[in-house]
Amino acid sequence: MKLGYLAFKNMISKPLNLVLSLLLLSLSVSLVTFVLQLSQQLSGQLHKNIAPFDMVVGAKGSPLQLVLSSVLHVDFPTGNIKLKDAALLQKHPFVETAIPVSYGDNYKGFRILGTEVEYLNQYGAELSEGTLYKEAFEVIAGSKVAQQLDLQVGDRFISAHGFATADSQEHDEHPFIVKGILASTGTVVDQLLITTVESIWEAHEHDGNNDPDKDKGHKEVGGEHESEKEITALLVTFKSPLGMVQLPRFINENTPMQAALPGFEVQRLVGLLGSGAKTVNGIALAILLVSALSIFISLLKTIRERKQELALLRTYGLRTVQLLGLALMEGLFLAVLGFVSGWLLGRLGIWGISQYMQISYGYGLQIMAPERFEFFLFGLVIVLTIIATLLASRSIFKLNVAETLSDV
Amino acid sequence: MVETSNLSYAYKNGTVMAFPNIGLSPGEHLLVIGPSGVGKTTLLYLMAGLLPPLKGTVAIDGTKLNALSRKALDRFRGEQIGLIFQQYHFIKSLNVSENLLLRQSFPLKGHDKKRGYELTERLGLAEHLDKKVTALSQGQQQRLGIALGLIHRPKIIFADEPTSNLDDENCAKVIDLLKEEAKICQSSLLIITHDQRVKSHFQNHILL
Chain B residue numbers with beta carbons less than 8 Å from the beta carbon of A17 are none
Which stretches within A206-360 are classed as H helix? 241-254, 262-305, 307-315, 320-360
Residue of B nearest to A15 (CA): B93
Are B33 and B208 in contact, with CB atoms under 8 Å apart? yes
pLDDT in tens, A250-273: 899 988 899 999 999 988 888 888
Q: What percent of chain A has pLDDT over 70?
A: 91
- One CATH from 3.40.50.300, 3.40.640.10, 3.40.33.10, 3.40.50.970 for B2-207: 3.40.50.300
Position A209 pLDDT exceeds 70: no
Which of these, A159, A56, A68, lies nearest to A110 by C-alpha position?
Answer: A159
| pLDDT tens-digit profile, chain B (208 residues) | 889 999 999 988 889 999 999 999 888 999 999 888 888 889 999 999 989 999 999 999 889 998 999 889 988 998 899 999 888 889 999 999 899 888 888 766 566 777 788 888 888 888 999 999 999 988 888 889 988 998 888 899 999 988 877 788 888 888 888 898 888 888 999 999 988 888 888 888 888 8
Comparing A161 with A354, the larger pLDDT belongs to: A354
Q: Is B91 in contact with A312 (Cβ distance < 8 A)?
A: yes
Can you give the residue ranges of every domain in chain B?
Answer: 2-207
pLDDT in tens, A373-390: 899 999 999 999 999 999
**Min CA distance, B78 vs chain A (Å)?**
4
pLDDT in tens, B114-123: 778 888 888 8
Q: Is A318 in contact with B74 (Cβ distance < 8 A)?
A: yes
Chain B residue numbers with beta carbons less than 8 Å from the beta carbon of A313 are 91, 106
Chain B residue numbers with beta carbons less than 8 Å from the beta carbon of A317 are 74-79, 106-107
Residues 158-187 of chain B with CB under 8 A from chain A are 160
Q: Is B41 in contact with A406 (Cβ distance < 8 A)?
A: yes
Q: How far apart, in whole angstroms, are the C-alpha atoms of residue A196 and residue A184?
A: 20
What radius of gyration, in Å, describes the C-alpha atoms of chain B? 17
Q: Is B107 in contact with A309 (Cβ distance < 8 A)?
A: no
**Min CA distance, B137 vs chain A (Å)?**
19
Q: Is B89 in contact with A1 (Cβ distance < 8 A)?
A: no
Pick B86's closest partner by Cβ from A9, A402, A406. Answer: A406
Pick A405's closest partner by Cβ from B70, B74, B85. Answer: B85
Q: How far apart, in whole angstroms, are the C-alpha atoms of residue A114 and residue A100?
A: 8
* B126 in reach of chain A (CB within 8 A): no
Position A163 pLDDT exceeds 80: no
Pick A401's closest partner by Cβ from B50, B76, B102. Answer: B50
* ipTM score above 0.95: no
Distances (CA, A) of A245 to A83, A259, A266: 24, 12, 18
Q: Is B70 in contact with A319 (Cβ distance < 8 A)?
A: yes
Any idea of the CA torsion for A93, A72, A200, A230, to the nearest 10 degrees? -40
pLDDT at A208: 45
Q: What percent of chain A has pLDDT over 90?
A: 29
Pick A406's closest partner by Cβ from B79, B93, B160. Answer: B160
Contacts of A105 (CB under 8 A, 6+ apart): A111, A112, A159, A160, A161, A162, A171, A200, A203
pLDDT in tens, A299-323: 888 888 889 999 999 999 898 999 9
**Min CA distance, B84 vs chain A (Å)?**
10
Position A401 pLDDT exceeds 60: yes
A–B interface: beta-carbon pairs under 8 A: 77
For CA atoms A391, A396, A399, A404, give the dihedral sign. Answer: positive
Chain B residue numbers with beta carbons less than 8 Å from the beta carbon of A10 are 93
What is the SS3 string spanning A304-345?
A: HHCHHHHHHHHHCCCCHHHHHHHHHHHHHHHHHHHHHHHHHH
